[in-house]
């Protein structure tokens, strides 16, 4: 039987593990491999696999300090110096778009972290491209041939990033120039300048830059017709979005919220909604195969 895409992505992530941990990880039931979201390595603990229903630990896989070092060496292809700036922010992106988050003894200086002297834990996130999840509602997000500005809402882990990535891809392939702000490397997963996840042929990615800085940079440098950002939260982000809207750019953004009504109860976002920068909201409910995408007008 041909290996499914979801299982293949899990097994690719397992290639970052030392051999002594990789074997048990690959013995996981195939149905669980297909649903796995993360590999979790904690010093002195058993290797964990994050599933939608919770974390499962694998017996006989006690993680050693050398295991953590090996995973980072593989993620950076033995070039930690080149990845030092990303690692100081708490993560690196490995070939294939696997985001490896790090935790341990930080090295703060001047209000910023400079890296880690001792690693205590790593989280290998397993991103999977979901094509055409945005396609069924795309017509509702357009006005003629022009995309409307859209907010994508759900609680954490509800599928916002997956939906936004696919919406960016569809608009880009449809002819729009898209500027994508990928502050945490989760949308396009740039590796050495190349997106590891398909975000469309007309999409320009600005990776690792805070949204408040990235949005005006894209406006000045790339002349986008659409700007997409993940997880609006800070006042500075919203101010940059408002400024971009004043330049006639379509905006796509995600926000942690279960509903538009909840968003209106937050003073920061209530003000944004009153300015009518965004014309539609996509509210994501449910999970897995039961996930639904509800489009609401924002009057």
Q: Which residue has the higher pLDDT, 63 or 76?
A: 63
Please state the pTM of the whole predicted model: 0.82
β-partners of residue 38 are: 50, 125
Residue 1 in this model has a pLDDT that exceeds 50: no
pLDDT at 81: 59
d(Cα 140, Cα 296) in Å, to the nearest integer? 9
Evaluate if residue 264 carries a pLDDT over 90.
yes
Compute and round to an integer the Cα radius of gyration of the chain: 20
Integer angstrom CA distances of residue 219 from 150, 187, 195, 216: 18, 19, 20, 5
Query: Is residue 205's pLDDT more than 70?
Result: yes
276, pLDDT greater than 60: yes
Between 82 and 230, the more confident residue is 230
Whether the predicted pLDDT of 254 surpasses 50 = yes
Q: Which residues, 6 or more positions from 145, have their beta carbon under 8 angstroms from its beta carbon?
A: none
Neighbours of 261 (CB within 10 A): 10
Residues 6+ apart with CB under 8 A from 44: 62, 63
CB 278: neighbour CB atoms within 10 A?
A: 21
Residue 2's pLDDT is what?
55
92 against 116, higher pLDDT: 92
pLDDT tens, position by position, 132-148: 999 999 999 999 999 99
d(CA 299, CA 129): 32
Quick: pLDDT tens for 34-75.
999 999 999 999 999 999 888 999 999 999 999 999 999 999
């Amino acid at each position: 039987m041909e290996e499914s895409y979801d299982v293949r992505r899990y097994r690719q992530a397992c290639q970052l593990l030392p051999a002594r941990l990789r074997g048990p990880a690959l013995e996981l039931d195939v149905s669980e491999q297909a649903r796995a979201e993360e590999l979790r390595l904690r010093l002195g603990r058993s290797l964990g696999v994050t599933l939608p229903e919770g974390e499962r630990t694998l017996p006989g896989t006690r993680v050693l300090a050398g295991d953590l070092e090996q995973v980072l060496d593989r993620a950076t292809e033995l070039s930690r110096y080149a990845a030092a700036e990303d690692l100081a922010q708490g993560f690196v992106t490995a070939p294939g778009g696997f985001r490896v988050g790090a935790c341990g003894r930080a090295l703060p200086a001047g209000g910023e972290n400079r890296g880690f002297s001792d690693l205590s834990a790593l989280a290998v996130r397993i991103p999977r491209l979901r094509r055409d999840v945005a396609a069924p509602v795309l017509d509702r997000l357009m006005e003629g041939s022009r995309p409307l500005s859209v907010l994508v809402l759900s609680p954490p882990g509800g599928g916002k990033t997956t939906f936004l990535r696919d919406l960016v891809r569809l608009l880009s392939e449809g002819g729009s120039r898209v500027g994508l702000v990928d502050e945490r490397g989760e949308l396009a997963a740039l590796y050495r300048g190349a997106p590891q996840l398909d975000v469309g042929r007309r999409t320009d990615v600005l990776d690792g830059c805070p949204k408040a800085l990235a949005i005006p940079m894209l406006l000045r440098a790339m002349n986008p017709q659409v700007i997409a950002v993940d997880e609006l939260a800070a006042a500075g982000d919203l101010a940059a979005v408002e400024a971009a809207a004043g330049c006639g750019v379509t905006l796509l953004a995600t926000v942690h919220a279960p509903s538009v009504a909840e968003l209106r109860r937050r003073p920061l976002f209530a003000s944004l909604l009153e300015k009518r920068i965004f014309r539609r909201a996509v509210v994501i409910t449910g999970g897995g195969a039961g996930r639904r995408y509800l489009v609401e007008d924002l009057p």
